Amino acid sequence: MSVFDMLRGDPGASRVVPSSGTTPRLVALGTASMAFLAVFAIALAAMLFHLGATWRAELAGTATVRITSSGEARDADTEAAMQVLQTTPGIATARVIPELEQQALLEPWFGKDLPLDSLPLPRLIEVTFEGESFDAKALGLRLAGEVPSARFDDHDRWRGPLARAQARMSWLAVAALGLIAATLAAVTALAARAALSANSQVIDVLRLVGARDTWIARAFVRRITLRAFLGACIGTLAAAAILAAFPATGAAGLPALRPSGASWALLAPVPLLAALVAWATTRRSALRMLKGRP
Amino acid sequence: MIDLSQVTVAFGGRVVLDDVTFSLQPGDFFFLTGPSGAGKTTLLRLCSGAQAPARGEVRLFGRPLAEMSSDTRASARRRMGIVYQDTQFLDHLPLEENIVLPFTVRGPVDPEMRAQAADLMAWVGLGEHRTALPPTLSGGERQRAALARALLTAPELVLADEPTGNLDWEMSLKLLTLLIELNRLGTPVLMATHDLALIRAAKPLVNARVLRLKDGKLTQAGAAL
């Protein structure tokens, strides 16, 4: 019996199991809860992915040169470093960050009235590369040779930990989804067993008239799977409605949890996957339980 | 068709059938008698494949029960008409749906099958109860309905456990006559009953034999009436 056979249904098999009983309702409730949690896990995973992608995009293809000398030497070193950068193939832009901009960068930590003159701050040059094959290491060595007070930072030491953190968070989201699927499988397996136990007389009658186990299982599997699908639809829609009420833009440098545009489509498979998990576990449990009966 | 060879069945250490050997072949008509608790129902359940023996061998249609899968057992049951003592129905379905159940589990039920069921229901006096739910019927009506269901698919053999237990004499004779007619067409019948008057009534009509069970042992294995 494939999932398509199950969905097509068998009017005979569907009727033989009494429609009363709390088990199918509990399946719907359990599946709705799991789908609700799954939607938030997916939204969180998408947000983390977006955050990581943004961070990587911002750091990739850029570098910073710090001029650590002071006084008159600073201007000369800055000019020398700019000379090196402008004559290096593969560099798209190189610009000295003005003091006002530098002040704005430090404002979140030191406040508005920061006297930059009184602090031993380095001068910063922002560099962008053309393409990904640029040899940042060679540029670093050249700068160190020609301008000893220049410190070249290609952001590599930031990119690595960020990529690792993002990978860990992605695995965490996958693990959360796996746990949700496992819980759903356990709920539906228990529901199948409960439904079969509560209908032992029905099973006896069906066997008496020559029903095969696959046919008997189909009656229970279809009912539980359809309830699981219904519950998952409700849970998904409820979670989507809550997400839709979230702000469309993020705060404190984080992207929004609310999906945007095509990202909403990521939620569409949740009810189908929940129904698939319910179908597979219910069918397996039902057939195993029927096999154990004389 | 059905062969039991030195079969023993025990429940929780209590021996219910002890070293029973029996064979049901085409044309046979057996009355299975004995006091309550003698093992009649267990023997019928063995014959239908619903019970496995602790020792010995059961063969259904030539195949050892022990080697049959659940699907093969189901296929074997489709060739049998079975009436158990506790007439079993799906209480939430109308009587007609219960009667056509042997067809339902095989595939779509067509109007011809429903007409067959209606004829049988009318024959057992339940034509007016097609839409009734089983719990609303009397014990005798349920027993007649169970018999109609068992005979609906023209089974190759009939296993009946006290099918006349709740019936009046007239209906009991009618049922017995039907089973005898089926038997004359070659269908073997194994019928458990403690109604000795019914067995006597059958004597001029059929060449039946009697199996007597006592304390799980066959004390009379196939004596002629």
* Average pLDDT across chain A, whole number: 83
Q: Are A223 and A283 in the same domain?
A: yes
Specify the number of domains making up chain A.
Answer: 2
pLDDT of residue B3: 92
Beta strands at B217-224 and B55-60: parallel, antiparallel or unpaired: unpaired
Q: What is the pLDDT of residues A191-215, one digit of tens each?
A: 888 888 888 888 889 998 999 998 9
Q: Are A175 and A257 in the same domain?
A: yes
Place A115 in a pLDDT band, splitting at 50, 70 and 90: confident
Q: Find the CB nearest A205 among B51, B89, B107.
A: B89
Domain end call among A129, A154, A179? A154
Q: What is the mean pLDDT of residues B135-162?
A: 90
Q: What is the pLDDT of residues B56-109, one digit of tens each?
A: 999 999 999 989 988 899 999 999 999 887 768 999 999 999 999 999 999 888
In 3-state terms, what secondary structure has residue A260? coil
The separation between CA A26 and the C-alpha centre of its own chain, rounded to angstroms, equals: 29
pLDDT of residue A252: 63
Structure tokens at B146: 């169970």
Domain end call among A111, A139, A154? A154
Q: What is the mean pLDDT of residues B100-121?
A: 92
Domain end call among A139, A154, A169? A154
Dihedrals phi, psi of A293, to nearest 5 degrees: -90, 145
Q: Are A45 and A166 in the same domain?
A: yes
Dihedral in degrees, nearest 10, Cα atoms A277, A278, A279, A283: 110
Q: What is the pLDDT of residues A136-191, one digit of tens each?
A: 788 888 888 888 898 888 877 777 777 788 778 878 888 888 999 899 888 888 88
Q: How many CB atoms lie within 10 A of CB A49?
A: 16
pLDDT of residue A89: 85
Q: Are A42 and A165 in the same domain?
A: yes
Give the rounded percent of residues in chain A with a pLDDT score beyond 90.
17
Q: Are A265 and A238 in the same domain?
A: yes
**Higher pLDDT pick, A71 / B130:** B130
Residue ranges making up the domain that contains A99: 61-154
Note the ipTM here.
0.86
Q: Are A47 and A183 in the same domain?
A: yes
Beta-carbon separation of B78 and A291 below 8 A: no
In 3-state terms, what secondary structure has residue B216? coil
Q: Are A169 and A264 in the same domain?
A: yes
Q: Are A104 and A208 in the same domain?
A: no
Q: What is the pLDDT of residues A92-112, one digit of tens each?
A: 888 999 888 887 877 777 777
Structure tokens at A98: 């003005």
Does the pLDDT at position A247 exceed 80? yes
* Average pLDDT across chain B, whole number: 89
Q: Are A51 and A65 in the same domain?
A: no
Q: What is the mean pLDDT of residues A249-257?
A: 72
Q: Are A39 and A167 in the same domain?
A: yes
Beta-carbon separation of A15 and B77 below 8 A: no
**Cα separation of B78 and B152, whole Å?**
11
Beta strands at A91-96 and A123-129: parallel, antiparallel or unpaired: antiparallel
Q: Are A52 and A189 in the same domain?
A: yes
Sheet (strand B2-11) strand order = B14-24, B2-11, B55-60, B63-64
B51 in A contact zone (CB under 8 Å): yes
* Nearest of A140, A132, A108, A144 to residue A59 by alpha carbon: A132
pLDDT of residue A12: 62
Does the pLDDT at position B223 exceed 80? no
Q: Are A172 and A245 in the same domain?
A: yes
DSSP A159-192: HHHHHHHHHHHHHHHHHHHHHHHHHHHHHHHHHH
Beta-carbon separation of B75 and A210 below 8 A: yes
A112 in B contact zone (CB under 8 Å): no
> Residue A145: which CATH number?
3.30.70.100
Q: Find the CB nearest B90 among A16, A213, A215.
A: A16
**Cα separation of A148 and A76, whole Å?**
12
* Helix or strand run (H / E) with residue A12: helix A11-16
Q: What is the mean pLDDT of residues A23-52?
A: 87
Dihedrals phi, psi of A145, to nearest 5 degrees: -75, -40
pLDDT of residue A3: 52
Question: What fold, for B2-224?
Answer: Rossmann fold (3.40.50)
